[in-house]
Amino acid sequence: MPDSELQRLFDELRWLTDLPGTASFEQPVVRALRERVADLADKVEVDLMGNLYAIVRGEEGGCKIICPAHSDAVGFIIRHIEPNGLLRVMNLGRVPPYLVYGQRLRIYRDDSGRDPLFGVVGTKPGHILFSSAGAEQRAYPPDRLQVPNYDDLFVDVGALSADEVRDMGVRPGLELTYDRDLRWLGDGRHGLVTSRALDDRVGCLALLETMRSLRAAGRKPRADVYFTFCSQEELGLRGAQVSGGYVQPDICIGVDGTISASGFGVGAGPSPGTSATEAPSFLGAGVGISYGDQSAPGRGLLGNAKLNARLVELAREHDVPHQLEGHATYITSDAAAIQYAKRGGCPSVTLKVPMRYTHGPVESCSLRDIAATARLLEAAVVALGKDTDLSFI
Catalytic residue numbers? Answer: 233
| CA atoms 204, 303, 251, 219: torsion sign | positive
Residue in 364, 384, 380 with CA at minimum distance from that of residue 180:
364
- What DSSP line would sit under 347-359, residue for residue? -EEEEEEEEESTT
Among 88, 94, 109, CA closest to 25: 109
The 3 state secondary structure assigned to 284-338 is: CCCEEEECEEEEECCEEEECCHHHHHHHHHHHHHCCCCEEEECCEECCCCCHHHH
Amino acid at the residue 340: Y
Q: Say if CB 365 and CB 282 are below 8 A apart.
A: no
The whole-angstrom separation of Cα 72 and Cα 19 is: 10
Tell how strand 348-356 and strand 299-302 pair up. Answer: unpaired
Distance of alpha carbon 168 from alpha carbon 330, whole angstroms: 39
The SS3 of residue 176 is strand
- CA dihedral of residues 292, 297, 300, 301 (deg, nearest 10): 50
Bridging pattern class, strands 192-195 and 183-184: antiparallel
Instruction: Collapse the DSSP code of 169 into the 3-class scheme (helix H, G, I; strand E, B; otherwise coil) and give the result.
Output: coil
CA angle 190, 5, 186 (to 5 degrees): 30
